[in-house]
Amino acid sequence: MNPRFFEAAEQGKVQCHLCPNNCLIAPGRFGVCRVRQNREGTLELPFYGRLSAVATDPIEKKPLYHFYPGRQILSVGFVGCSFHCPFCQNHHIAHDTSYPTEYISPEKLVELCRQRDSFGISYTYSEPIVHLEYVLDTAILAREQGLKNVLVSNGYINAEPAEQLLDLMDAANIDFKSWNPEFYRKEIGGNVEEVKRFLKQAYDKINLEVTTLAIPSKNDSSEEIETIARFLASLNPDIPYHLSAYYPQYRYRIPPTPPSTLHRLAEAARQHLNYVYLGNVGSEETNTSCPSCGNLLVRRRGYSVVVKGIEEGRCVECGAEASIAGV
Ligand code: SF4
């Protein structure tokens, strides 16, 4: 358990270089994420391996729709986060590091994955990047055993640690919260350019999917969502894009996203992307159709998933590549 991605600074401080916050941490204090601490001039990780949640979830819950559809994945959460979103849906673990946790070593977690017959491990629920040392240590062991590694994250990480992370991940769902730099800066405490940089770094290395939580009056204009979709399409128009309905959480009291808004935004995103999905909208079907001929490839109702129209990775009707891993 060696802390990485930091250097000693003047007056006993340490500078963490893991995420673009680049916290300069005074002795005894924590960084913005509240889990990386300066103890006597060196960075310590008092929350290494301390998990706030361990569960087996459908991969669709991450959400990942184009990676081993219908399979269950061992999912683990931590505490702490590099952002402070006032609408955080997991604020009880993201912003309260006194939340009960249990230490599970990387070896034990991989063993648990085997016992539960899961095809891999998903690092999720709270922000896994601020626990990168544990994620890397576990992902190495998991990969050695033929298991998959899946990241669910805000994508806020500097380029060098991101390279190490991407080398070990197989798939990821990254939050793209807004195109608006002011929204990232004022509401969240982040820099949207850094998230874009990470997406550019990641898109051709792993199975990448992207999610935007559509919040009324904040980021729900068709123009904004179309701009995000255009950016993603410039990387790859087959990147699956999830538009998720917001519900009042934590410090936000804005009413929930109406389904009609989500449908309007999906239409805007479909101008540029081949696979756009609605999330958090109850029992609506979220199927995958072939972008070439419209043939139904995967039928989803809730977490009930049937792969119907794919053989050897191609649409059975027109032969176009299905762009879905693990089928
Ligand atoms: S990982 Fe935490 S301590 Fe390091 S720069 Fe980011 S917020 Fe600061």
- Report the chain (327 residues): mean pLDDT per 10 consecutive residues: 87 97 98 97 96 97 97 98 95 93 98 97 97 98 98 98 98 98 97 98 98 97 98 98 95 93 96 96 82 95 91 95 93
CB of 21 within 6 A of ligand 1: the answer is yes
CB of 14 within 6 A of ligand 1: the answer is no
pLDDT for 285 equals 67
Among 19, 43, 83, which residue has the most ligand 1 atoms within 8 Å of its CB, making it the best to mutate?
19
CB < 8 Å & 24+ apart, contacts of 178-187: 178/212, 178/218, 178/219, 178/224, 179/219, 179/224, 179/227, 179/228, 179/231, 180/219, 180/224, 183/218, 183/219, 187/85, 187/86, 187/218
Domains and CATH numbers, the chain: 6-44 (no CATH), 50-281 (3.20.20.70), 294-327 (no CATH)
pLDDT for 284 equals 65
Q: How far apart are CA 10 and CA 278, in angstroms?
A: 49
DSSP reduced 3-state for 210:
strand
Q: How far apart are CA 169 and CA 122, in angstroms?
A: 10
**In which residue are the tokens 């998959």 written?**
148
pLDDT for 2 equals 75
Ligand 1 nearest-atom number relative to CA 30: 3
**Alpha carbon nearest to ligand 1 atom 6, residue:** 19
CB of 31 within 6 A of ligand 1: the answer is yes
Ligand 1 nearest-atom number relative to CA 19: 6
DSSP reduced 3-state for 64:
coil
For residue 59, the CA-to-ligand 1 centroid distance in Å is 28
